[in-house]
Structure 1
Amino acid sequence: MAEEPDQERLKALEERIAEAKRAQQPKPPKDEHYTAASQGWRMVIELVSGLGIGFGIGYGLDTVFGTMPFLLVLFTLLGFAAGVKTMLRTASEFQGGRETGQGPGDERD
């Protein structure tokens, strides 16, 4: 009979230890949190892809129409402008998401 209270206390102690271990486990990282390096690389890729797409369209149209430097320069500048605009939108998403608790891609009014 003296062992029964000890068994109950031991069981209660084991439950508390297990609960404390569960509380100490780190939570898995959320997908909304990006590192500064990944944000920077995303913006660089957006800028370079805008330039590349503009250059490709301009070169293709110049080849077809025979107006070699004109459309190439025009569409390269338009691609640069589109890349910068996309880059600024991404930067505002990250900054706004951090302030309001929203993740990238969430719509804000």
Structure 2
Amino acid sequence: MTDVSLSQNAARQIKAIMAKQGVDRFMRVAVEGGGCSGFQYKFDFADAPNDDDIVIERDGAKVVIDEMSLEFLSGSEIDYTQELIGSAFKITNPNATAGCGCGTSFSV
């Protein structure tokens, strides 16, 4: 069991993307080294979970996170925001001690 959650807006957007593509896939969320602050979030798609993936599901939307990334994402919420400057998936991460202006890079 994981304590990473998926907001209703994120679930709705993932389902909309999958419907547009005409396939039932998973959104992959990962943490990689790099970015302005040391770590960055990566969003991708996967046909199936890997053996070490955790699967989060809400309202039919499915997200996979690998074990290594899960350590950095514990307690986080994956959201989808629509703002004047654009729309994007966003992670509210209580483990991040600093972030950059773009919102995709953080440090712990």
Q: TM-score under structure 1 normalisation?
A: 0.28
Indicate the structure whose relative CO is greater, using CA pairs within 8 Å and at least 6 residues apart: 2
More helix by share: 1
More strand by share: 2
Which structure: larger Rg?
1
